[in-house]
Amino acid sequence: MYVTYRQIQEVADIYGYPPVVQMTAPVDSQEFDFIHSTQHYGRCHDITMFIFKGTKLLVIAKHNYPAGLFRPPSGAVKPGESLIQGAMREAMEETGCKIELGRYILQVNALFTDGYHQIPWRSHVFTARYVSGDPHPIDTREIREVSLAGLDDFDRYKEIIRTKTASGGLNYRARLHDEVLRLL
């Protein structure tokens, strides 16, 4: 794990101490293998950002998402980056926009499991404010589209996940979104 407790403490000192939620996230063996493949350098985390542009949120769609499904941008801190640097870089790569972090709103300690194996995971969730830029994906290999959404759109996204995917990872995202929406 290259994101240290000291780094987490430093961002909490600046952006607030978030509630901590525990979740188990069942995934199939293919998703488990994918999550495992993202664990370069011992990665077991993501930074998720609820980026407000006025009253709307910047949301992204990956290439494999069904039509109409979006979620807040997220990604990994790279070795040697701070959580803040990682958040700024990921926001730029996924949305094309500069942001300003607001609050460290939630920490989710998840356990991805395929029924036989487990991957412990931590999502660091922040609110942020759009500063500048034309919303569009810079990393077009990963991100298909950037859009603006209202908080009420998340119910529709959850319905798309429930009816049009069998993804445990997306179900985890929907549960994470529910936790955040309770705090906003």
**Tens digit of each residue's pLDDT (9 = 90 or more) over 102-136:** 999 999 999 999 999 999 999 999 999 999 999 99
Please report, for the chain, the start and end positions of each structural domain, with discontinuous segments joined by +. 5-183
Whether the pLDDT of residue 1 is over 80: the answer is no
Is there a contact between 10 and 97 (Cβ–Cβ < 8 Å)? no
Give residue-wise pLDDT tens across range 59-78. Answer: 999 999 999 999 999 999 99
Is this prediction's pTM over 0.85? Answer: yes
Structural domain 5-183, CATH architecture = Alpha-Beta Complex (3.90)
Site of tokens 């980056």: 81
Return d(Cα 74, Cα 5) in angstroms, integer.
20
In sequence order, the 6+-apart residues with CB closer than 8 A to the CB of 122 are 3, 44, 45, 46, 107, 108, 109, 110
Summarize the confidence of residues 34-42 as an average pLDDT. Answer: 93
